[in-house]
Amino acid sequence: MSRAQGPGPRGGRGFTLIELLLAISLLALLLGMAYSGLRAGLKAADSGQALIDRTNRVRVTQEFARHQLSRLLPLVFAQDSAGIGSVFEADRNKMKYVGPMPGYLGVGGPYVQELELLRDGRSRQLVFRHWLLNGYNADEIDRDQALPIRLLDGIRRGGFQYRGVDDQGVPTDWMERWEDVTQTPVMIRMAFEMEDGSRLVWPTLDVTMVVDAGSRGNSGGAFFNTQ
């Protein structure tokens, strides 16, 4: 009689339970690594897009501020009890002046415009307000009707500075408060530092007036207040 055949070669048998568990564990590890890499990639993409959006916000804000400030007009928007008309009122945190508005914001005619740095928690934000000059009365305006348009947030420190010319036509030093409200500056500086960790940089913005900056407002024909 022939002898019974023994088991086949080792390569012909199935996987043991331990080998199957090891294979499943290895597959799970590979899938986990792939998922972590995909998640990190999506997070980096979202972070990069957010930085791009905020960088564009800085650029757009600078372009808007440059456009508005360079075209300010020496028109009187307020008068004190002595009849002195204000064409430009400004300090480190706020400036008010008259100028034309972009077509998508205004309905024609000059506007009283205001740029201000407002406290927003630990940081500050740059906001913009505007009122039609015709009929403007600083003592009676409802600031709630001129809701601030937020231009930029996340500002850690900084402010506005101004430069004029003296009686000899020589440019003055930069100052943080504009004293002569009857006269416009020849240059305006906006210097901000952004919040730590934001990776944003605000390039110092120096704006030179396009109109005859430094001229004095006319308290007669240039005063549009009808109230």
Write out pLDDT tens, residues 170-205: 889 999 999 999 999 999 999 999 987 778 889 999
Residue 216 lies in a domain: no
Residue 138 lies in a domain: yes
Residue 80 lies in a domain: yes
How many domains, the chain?
Answer: 1
pLDDT tens sequence across 130-161: 998 988 887 777 655 667 899 999 999 999 99
pLDDT category at 116 given cuts 50, 70, 90 is very high
Alpha-carbon gap, residue 74 to 88, rounded angstroms: 8
Q: Helix or strand or coil: residue 153?
A: strand
Residue 7 lies in a domain: no
Number of Cβ within 10 Å of residue 147's Cβ equals 9
Residue 15 lies in a domain: no
Question: Residues 6 or more apart from 180 whose CB is under 8 A from it?
Answer: 164
The domain in which residue 197 lies consists of 55-208
Q: Which of 181, 176, 173 is nearest to 158 (CA)?
A: 176
Residue 170 lies in a domain: yes
Residue 220 lies in a domain: no
Q: Which of 189, 186, 111, 201 is nearest to 155 (CA)?
A: 201
Task: Tell me what percent of the residues of the chain surpass a pLDDT of 70.
Answer: 76
Residue 1 lies in a domain: no
